[in-house]
Structures are given as C-alpha cells and as structure tokens.
C-alpha cells in the first residue's frame, strides 16, 4: 500500500531500460506521469490544432500566393516586399498607430484618475462605479450599433455639438473625423475596463503604508507620489502593455461601424488583413501582413517592458 | 496573482479624512456624477430609441423619452430576421464553449499544478504563449483548417476552435496550486481514482475560480463576431452578433428596430453581470493576463 502514495520527488529512480516497458508503466511514478499527460492532453490537443498549427501555417502561407481556388504557390518573401510598397498597407499602419496611441494615452490617465476616485469612500460609490462600468459589458457589436447611431449626421453627438454652437461633424464620411470618433467611442468602452485593473492594483497596496506615511506627516500629494505611484508601477505596466496590444489589434469596431471608410481613413491593420483575406482572397498577402502585425506588437511590448524594466509584475 | 486578490467590493480603504474632503469639494463630486450620466447616455439612448416611432428618432428638440413607448418595435425587429434562431444558436454555442473550456482548462490546470511529468514547464510556456496570438494571425489558417475538416456552417466549427483558449488553463493552474497536496494524498490512500480526486476534492474547492472563468468565457463567446462571421453563411447557424450586423448589410434604416435588438442582445450579459458582479469584474480584471 505504501508504494502507492510515494510522491514522485521521494520515489526511487526508475530502473534501467532492461525492464519491459509495460511493467514500468504500472509503477506509481510512471502512473503519476501518465495521469499528468492524460489530464493535459485534451486541452493541449485543442491548442495544438487551433493555435500552434495555425501559427506555423500563417508563416508558411505568408510565403505563398494562395487564392483558395488554385493550390498555394511558393513566392518567397514577395508578399512582404509587396506590402512595403502597398500604399493601402502603409496607410493602415499609420491609421493603426494613430488610433492606438490616440486611444491609449488618454485611457492611461482617465482610468487611473477614475480608479483613484473610486478607491475613496464616497457617498453612493457603488452606484456611481456601476454607471462608469456598464459600457464594458456591452457586447462589441452592440457597441458598434450604438455608436454608429450616435455618429449619424443627425445623431445625438451632432445634436450636442450644435447645441453649444459648433458646426456638426461628419463622423463617418470625413477622413479627418473618423478616427477621432473611434477614439472617443473607445474611451467610453475601455477606460472603465482599465479602471477595474487599476482598482485591483490600488487595493493591493497595504493601507498601513499610507497610514504610516500620514503619521510621519506626508500630505495626500506626497502619499500619492512617494507611496501609491511607486507601488502601482507593475499595474501601470500591465495597463500600458495590455491597452496598446488591445487597441493595435482591434478591428471589429471598425468593421461594424465604418467598414474602414471613408476611403481607407479608418482601415486599421486588422481590417486590412481581414479584407485581403476574405474580400480579395489573397491569403498569402493577408498572412504576411498578420506576421508583420504580430512582430510589431511583440516589439512594442518588449519596448514597453524595457521602459518599465524595474517594475515587472510578480 | 495580484489581480485576483483584489476584491473590488471590499470595504472602503481610504482614510475618512480624504473622503470627507473629496465629498466636501462638491464641484468635484458633481463632475463625477455628471460623468456617470454621460457614460450612461449611449445606453439610455439605445433603450429610448428602441421604443420610438420612426418620426421621433431624429426629431428636434431631442426627445429623451418617446411620448408613447412602442413595444411592437421589439416584435417587428425580432421577426425581421430570424432572431429566435440566432439567439438559440448563440446560447447553444456559448454554453458549449463555456462547458468545454471550463472542463478542459480545469483538467489541464490540475495536471500543471499537481503532477510532475517530462516537459511540463516547456508545455506550460507554450500554452501561455498561445495567449499572445491575435485573431488576425490565426483567422486565415484556422479558417482553412476548419474548411478542410468540412466544419464550415456547423456547430462544431463555431464551438471547438473557440473552446481552444488558454486563459482558463492559466487561471485554474494558479488556483489549484494552492490546494494542499495532503488532501490529494489522503484521497489516494483511501483508494480514490485520479479522476475522482479531481471532481470530488479539487473541483469543490475551485468554484469561485470556475465561476469567474465561466462568466469570462461566456462573455467572450457571446461577444464573438469575426469568427462566426467567417464560417457561417446560413441563418440556421448564425449567432446574435451576425444577426445584428444584417441590419447594416441589408441597409435597414429602422433605427428603432436596430436599437431594440441591440438591447436584447445585451441582456444575457447584463443579467449575468448584475447577478455575479464580483466574479464578473474579477474575470475582466484578469483579462490583463490573457493579453
């Protein structure tokens, strides 16, 4: 009986290979190993089939010309070279950067500010926080429908703008206004989301530290700069990295609201890839662009981690 | 995990002095309340528009609430496209993805937390790495694989690739690692099989994490747009988000109907959110790790 409960780390070494394999398999240690594989196998199989194999396939496809009808033809790095001179692709990179940083930079401050406020004891705090949080649970397509309606030439946004005496904005038909519109709508949906992340970080800061600082005579501002902010650095890193990744690959909102228009002014890279693949059936070009997007996201992330190199999350 | 420890509903942490000072700065408080109103306007406007007759939708001055709420807008919208079918599909797919993902994530998390086997760390890192892959990279090859399997326009095509997500594995591993080994060993001495140990000893200790994960997966699946759009071309398989998009595709300009169905599409998430606020918010706070 005792041999059954031997923990693997306490177990004796497996005997040399001379023994027939089946007997080894029935030893407790091997059985323990086997159960590990058994429990892991189903999810591993799923991830292998639908994540890792597609990842490799994406790279292989990026070296081919493939339109779904004729078999893929190897073209080397032609797709990548082609992208470098494709003005629509280059424009989509610019649009993505504009949208990503236009959305993320305000989010970092708005969400932190909201979290600091909601970390205080306020009258009606729970209800107020709920109101701020609600946009986050709106499904993405519903979010698209709501904002498409708000962006309507006679929609509520323009009514509001005109009520303060400004000219109405062609949110979806002017190439100068379309990205600011997307940024505005993304603030609405994502600032509360990152507020939640910041709140979780703030509540991990030991209250005693702030109290001790108060006793030592630190005022609210000093407590924020010298206690809260330094301890919040891992959370700030998390928010900065995650928000940039999220915004740089977002395209469902664009697909639903503007379809990338007018004239490509809101075609972000994700939408460019989608259109290449499923409207023009250029699977190779789409895959090459997706590889470049992945590379870009990874480089951005590494760069951010380098900036925050002494504040790695646990 | 830092994020999973912080409960948002914990009692207020700030010192009373700061709160009083802030509450006293009533201008700031007023601004906060106004901000909350601004955040709610788009959602309120959706509900209000959904009940208006067509001629009140863009009428000026702004009609904040219809003179006579027209509930028949909901019936008309529901019947304009087969929304009964879309909702049934969305519920089938979301339930199936949630059950499969929670079950298999639990197994995998259990394996990674409580068993020792060759290649474990490499496998764990490989599993985590899949979280970094954006849908842009995966959608073309996954579409081709699913096409190869003849899964286009099938439930398995909607469900199985969506269930392949590693966030749950990570969450479950982090939770199961805190289950004491002595519990498992005691059960082994009593002759319990490994499967029974998981379901009778480990799983009952996990239910907060299971709830968090289930809500998270439900939300992601209910939200899913691009993947169902790619692989469904028949009403029999379309989900709610694709159904909503049809209003745009077919140029239906009855904004009241679009808003009515948008509101209905939001309900399955909103209701769950109000019931399980805390677990829901934790799942969202945990998304940070997923990205």
Residues B59 and B255 sit within 8 Å (Cβ to Cβ): no
Beta bridge partners of A239: none
Which residue among B133, B188, B288 places its CB closest to the CB of A4?
A: B188
What is the C-alpha to C-alpha distance for residues B266 and B222, in angstroms, rounded to an integer? 9
Q: So what's the ipTM on this one?
A: 0.85
Residues A300 and A248 sit within 8 Å (Cβ to Cβ): yes
Q: How far is CA B123 from CA A52, B58, B86, B183, B287, in A?
A: 12, 57, 38, 26, 21
Distance from CA of B17 to the nearest CA of A (A): 10
DSSP calls for B23-77: HH-HHHHHHHHHHHHHHHHHHHHHHHHHTS-GGGTT-TTT-SS-SS--THHHHHH
CATH of A81-311, one of 1.10.3720.10, 1.10.20.10, 1.10.260.40, 3.40.190.10: 1.10.3720.10
Question: Where in chain B does DSSP place strands (E)?
Answer: none
What is the C-alpha to C-alpha distance for residues A46 and B164, in angstroms, rounded to an integer? 5
Q: Please confirm whether the linkage preceding B235 is cis (ω < 30° from 0).
A: no
Chain B residues closer than 8 Å to A8 by CB = 116
Distance from CA of B209 to the nearest CA of A (A): 16
Q: How far is CA B220 from CA B90, B163, B167, B280, in A?
A: 12, 10, 11, 12
Q: Which of B223, B119, B252, B250 is nearest to B162 (CA)?
A: B223
- Report pLDDT digits (tens) over B69-106: 889 889 989 988 999 999 999 999 999 999 999 999 99
Q: What is the mean pLDDT of residues A293-309?
A: 87
Residues B264 and B73 sit within 8 Å (Cβ to Cβ): no
Residue A43, both tokens: 């999810």
Distance from CA of B41 to the nearest CA of A (A): 10
Q: What is the mean pLDDT of residues A161-178?
A: 90
CA angle A130, A183, B46 (to 5 degrees): 50
A65 phi/psi in degrees, rounded to 5: -110, 120
What is the C-alpha to C-alpha distance for residues B24 and B22, in angstroms, rounded to an integer? 5
Write down the pLDDT at residue A22. Answer: 57
Q: What is the mean pLDDT of residues A218-233?
A: 84
Q: How far is CA B209 from CA A312, B108, B214, in A?
A: 25, 14, 8
Residues A308 and A240 sit within 8 Å (Cβ to Cβ): yes
* SS3 call for A73: strand
What is the C-alpha to C-alpha distance for residues A261 and A256, in angstroms, rounded to an integer? 11
* Secondary structure letter of residue A279 according to DSSP: T
Residue B183, both tokens: 């519990």
Q: Using CB atoms and an 8 Å cut-off, which of residues 36-95 of chain B contact chain A? A: 36-37, 39-43, 45-46, 49, 58, 60, 62
Write down the pLDDT at residue B7. Answer: 36
Write down the pLDDT at residue B68. Answer: 85
List of domains in chain B = 2-73 (no CATH), 77-290 (1.10.3720.10)
With residue A74 as reference, give the H or E element that holds it.
strand A73-74
Residue B255, both tokens: 């904004």
The answer to whether A149 contacts B258, with C-beta atoms less than 8 Å apart, is yes
Chain B residues closer than 8 Å to A197 by CB = 3, 285, 288
Whether the predicted pLDDT of B251 surpasses 90: no
Could you count the other beta carbons within 10 Å of the beta carbon of residue B14?
20
- Report pLDDT digits (tens) over B173-226: 989 998 999 888 889 888 888 899 999 989 998 888 899 899 989 999 999 999
Q: Where are the domains of chain A?
A: 2-62, 81-311
Q: Closest chain A residue to B148 measured between Cα atoms?
A: A68
Is pTM beyond 0.90 here? no
């Amino acid at each position: 009986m005792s041999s059954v409960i031997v923990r693997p780390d306490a177990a004796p070494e497996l005997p040399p290979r001379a023994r027939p394999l089946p007997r080894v398999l029935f030893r407790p240690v091997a059985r323990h190993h086997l159960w590990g594989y058994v429990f892991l196998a189903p999810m591993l199989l799923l991830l292998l089939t639908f994540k890792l194999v597609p990842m490799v396939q994406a790279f292989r496809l990026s070296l081919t010309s493939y339109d779904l009808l004729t078999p893929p033809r190897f073209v080397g790095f032609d797709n990548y070279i082609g992208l470098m001179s494709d003005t629509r692709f280059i424009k989509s990179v610019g649009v993505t950067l504009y949208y990503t940083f236009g959305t993320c930079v305000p989010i970092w401050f708005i969400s932190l500010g909201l979290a600091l406020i909601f970390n205080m004891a306020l009258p009606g705090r729970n209800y107020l926080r709920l109101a701020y949080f609600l946009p986050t649970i709106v499904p993405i397509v519903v979010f698209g429908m709501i904002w498409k309606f708000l962006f309507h030439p006679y929609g509520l946004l323009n009514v509001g703008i005109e009520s303060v005496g400004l000219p109405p904005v062609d949110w979806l038909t002017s190439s100068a206004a379309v990205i600011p519109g997307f940024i505005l709508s993304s603030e609405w949906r994502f600032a509360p989301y990152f507020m939640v992340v910041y709140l979780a970080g703030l509540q991990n800061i030991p209250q005693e530290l702030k109290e001790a600082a108060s006793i030592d005579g630190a005022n609210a501002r000093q407590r924020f700069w010298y206690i809260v902010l330094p301890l919040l650095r891992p959370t700030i890193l998390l928010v900065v990295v995650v928000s940039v990744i999220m915004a740089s690959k977002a395209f469902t909102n664009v697909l639903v609201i503007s379809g990338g228009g007018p004239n490509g002014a809101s075609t972000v890279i994700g939408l460019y890839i989608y259109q290449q693949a499923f409207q023009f059936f250029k699977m190779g070009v789409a895959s090459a662009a997706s590889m470049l997007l992945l590379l870009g996201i990874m480089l951005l992330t590494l760069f951010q981690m380098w900036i925050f190199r002494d504040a790695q999350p646990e | 995990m830092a994020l999973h420890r912080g409960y948002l509903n914990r009692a207020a942490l700030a010192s009373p002095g700061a709160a009083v000072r802030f509450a006293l700065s009533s201008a700031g408080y007023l601004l906060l309340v106004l901000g909350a109103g601004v955040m709610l306007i788009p959602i309120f406007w959706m509900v209000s528009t959904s009940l208006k007759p067509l001629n009140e939708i863009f009428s000026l001055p702004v009609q904040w609430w219809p003179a006579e709420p027209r509930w028949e807008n909901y019936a008309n919208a529901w019947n304009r496209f087969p929304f009964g079918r879309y909702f049934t599909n969305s519920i089938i797919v979301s339930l199936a993805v949630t059950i499969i993902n929670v079950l298999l994530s639990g197994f995998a998390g259990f394996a990674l937390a409580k068993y020792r086997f060759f290649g474990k760390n490499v496998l764990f890192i490989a599993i985590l790495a899949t979280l970094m892959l954006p849908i842009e990279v995966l959608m073309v090859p996954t579409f081709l694989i699913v096409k190869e399997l003849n899964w286009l326009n099938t439930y398995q095509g909607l469900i199985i690739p969506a269930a392949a997500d590693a966030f749950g594995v990570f969450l479950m591993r982090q939770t199961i690692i805190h289950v004491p080994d002595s519990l498992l060993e005691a059960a082994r001495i009593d002759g319990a099989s490994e499967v029974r140990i998981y379901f009778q000893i480990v799983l009952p200790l996990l239910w907060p994490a299971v709830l968090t994960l289930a809500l998270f997966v439900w939300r992601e699946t209910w939200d899913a747009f691009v993947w169902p759009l790619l692989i469904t071309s028949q009403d029999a398989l379309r989900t709610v988000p694709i159904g909503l998009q049809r209003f745009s595709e077919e140029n239906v300009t009855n904004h009241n109907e679009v808003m009515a169905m948008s509101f209905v599409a939001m309900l399955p998430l909103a209701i769950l959110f109000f019931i399980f606020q805390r677990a829901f918010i934790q799942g969202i706070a945990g998304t940070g790790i997923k990205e």
